[in-house]
Amino acid sequence: MSEDKKSTRGAYGDALLELGEADENIVVLDADLAKSTTSIKFAKVFPDRFFDCGVAEQNMMCTAAGLATTGKICYTGSFAIFATGRAYEQVRNTIVYSGLNVKMCPSHSGITVGEDGASHQTVEDIALMRVIPGLKVVVPADYYEAKAAIKAAARIEGPFYIRLGRPSVPIIFNNDYEFNLGKAIKLKDGSDATIFAIGIMVSASLEAAKILEKEGINAEVINVSSIKPIDVNTIIESVEKTRKVVTAEEHSVIGGLGSAVAEVLCERLPAPIRMVGIKDLFGLSGSIPELLEYFHLTPQDIVLAVKNLVYQ
Amino acid sequence: MSRSELRKRIEEKSLILRRDIIRMTGEAGSGHPGGSLSAADIVSTLYFYQLRHRPAEPKWRERDRFVLSKGHVAPVLYAALAESGYFSRDILWTLRKMGSILQGHPDMKKVPGVEISSGSLGQGLAVANGIALGGKLDQLDYRVYVLIGDGESQEGIVWEAAMFAAHYKLDNVTAILDYNGLQIDGTVSEVMEIRPIVDKWRAFGWHVIEIDGHNVLAIIDAFAEANTIKEKPTMIVAHTVKGKGVSFMENAIDFHGKAPTKEQMKEALKELGEVDC
């Protein structure tokens, strides 16, 4: 794999190895997807602290909760659809209501699962997790941010949802990157519009900003990887300057980043918003580039959304 | 202590729990007395005989754990915790009231001695398995007890967890099935048959013991037997009577989730031998 592109799920196995080395309280569970989530890396080195739960995600979540009550820091893998959909009520009632130290880091979120199609592509997981009281929700933009966030979660008491993905995505950060929960990161300064983005749409937004620059539009790009808690100050500060907002996410426009940013702005600083995301649709089978185009999740789609605001 | 003295001592505690359950739900005006009463002898034998625990030190690392999977019978757990000294008995009468630590279903963040928040059925066995794994990883010899309902056994996750416990040879897990035969919509057999329940647990790889869940000596013996079983979890199928101890509540489905009226409360407390009610 080339160094300019790496998957965020790849960061999971690598982060777990480092965590497992440093702390024997790290315990990892998976639900028959250890190869896909990459937790297999941990399983091979620390077999005594890895438990495969079989195809039983609800059971995995409650087992993790039990382990957490004994002082373990428990990481759970699966596909995002099953971790959040199948096991929703276990996550809500047994893990988060009790505030237990379980770090849910499922992979294969969004439509970039690709060929498996809609049953395996969750476009609503952020919405589901974001509404659970007190749950911390993180959507890393690249391999290094994913690794830093997964490691940081071990040091912060309480449950986490860290959304990881299947495909290789462009590298934005480097190994020295420090993840700060609750902090949005400005990746490019701009004055004409602000693009708030998460996950794979962060690199797409940076590309969109380059295209826009050639056309004389100066867009600010902010990575809102910490969806909850959300960085209200950084959002307000940027929009006070630009007064125009585009959100970009590989998720339904209902309940995800677009909604989260709108919640902040409509109370504090109303501004026109265009949401680039999936429009109340299920996914589809197809190659990743085909799907990104079909669901309007390309840099060009972000460019159009920004222009739509700037020239209106 | 002779067995008959032991029996007397535990039965006296069961009676206290039963009176508390009636008074708590009666004062609250809601709650689940039926299943609390059916589980009273099991919970009493756990807290006043079987569990290795320190009420003054609820987070003691080496304690045995009790997971109440059928969280709606919170009153019997709260009564046992108060009687053990985890918190003042006065708090019992605040059950289900605004500001009380005693929520309608147990909240581990509010109540000392509650090992896990529960109430959503089916989840306790999986939690117990996690606690048991933690004990094995830490090389601590505590045991994990988990009380499951018969209606609750209709939840799929119970069987996922059953598979898991057997697969990982969790011999430090002892589950107890409070088999009172009634659930909200009718008898368990009418609503969704769970029999042959003993065969089911055996088929899942568990050691199974079948007892009368109101015979405290049988409960003690079953716990002792479970302690001797290696490489297998144990399920104690305890045949019980819903509403046990109060004549008009026994086998009365309505008292699953309905509190006694003030009149019924007085009547029940009289039956349970309370003099000044």
Among residues of chain B, what percentage have pLDDT more than 70?
A: 99
* Mean pLDDT within B253-272: 96
- Separation CA A303–CA A307 (nearest Å): 6
pLDDT of residue B274: 84
The pLDDT tens digits for A173-225 are 999 999 999 999 999 999 999 999 999 999 999 999 999 999 999 999 999 99
Q: What is the 3-state secondary structure (H, E, C) of A261-288?
A: HHHHHHHHCCCCEEEEEECCCCCCCCCH
ipTM of predicted assembly, 2 dp: 0.97
How distant, in Å, are the alpha carbons of B81, B183, B274 from that of B91?
11, 29, 19
Q: Does A71 touch chain B (CB under 8 A)?
A: yes
Tell me which CATH code domain A185-310 carries.
Answer: 3.40.50.920
CB contact under 8 A, B137 and A48: yes
Domain ranges of chain A: 5-170, 185-310
The pLDDT tens digits for A35-82 are 999 999 999 999 999 999 999 999 999 999 999 999 999 999 999 999
Q: What is the DSSP code (8-state) at residue B127?
A: H
Which residues of A are tagged catalytic? 57
Helices (H) and strands (E) in chain A, counts: 13, 14
The pLDDT tens digits for A241-286 are 999 999 999 999 999 999 999 999 999 999 999 999 999 999 999 9
Predicted confidence (pLDDT) at residue B124 exceeds the cutoff of 50:
yes
Q: Which amino acid is at A70?
A: T
Residue A95 CB burial class (10 angstroms; 0-12, 13-18, ≥19):
buried
Find the residue in A nearest to B139 (Cα). A70
pLDDT band at A120 (very low <50, low <70, confident <90, very high): very high
How distant, in Å, are the alpha carbons of A267, A303, B36, B115 from that of B95?
38, 58, 14, 18
CB contact under 8 A, B117 and A98: yes
Among residues of chain A, what percentage have pLDDT more than 70?
A: 99
CB contact under 8 A, B123 and A94: yes
Separation in Å, CA of A54 to nearest CA in chain B: 8
Separation in Å, CA of A104 to nearest CA in chain B: 16
CB A263 within 8 A of CB A196: no
pLDDT of residue A1: 47
Tell me which CATH code domain A5-170 carries.
Answer: 3.40.50.970
Domains of chain B: 3-271 (3.40.50.970)
- Separation CA B207–CA B220 (nearest Å): 16
Q: What angle do CA A247, A249, A252 make, to 5 degrees?
A: 105
Report CA B253 to chain centroid distance, whole Å.
18
CB B98 within 8 A of CB B152: no
Q: Does A62 touch chain B (CB under 8 A)?
A: yes
Q: B170 in the Ramachandran plot: left (φ > 0), alpha (ψ -120 to 50) or beta?
A: beta
Query: Are A5-170 and A185-310 the same fold in CATH?
Result: yes
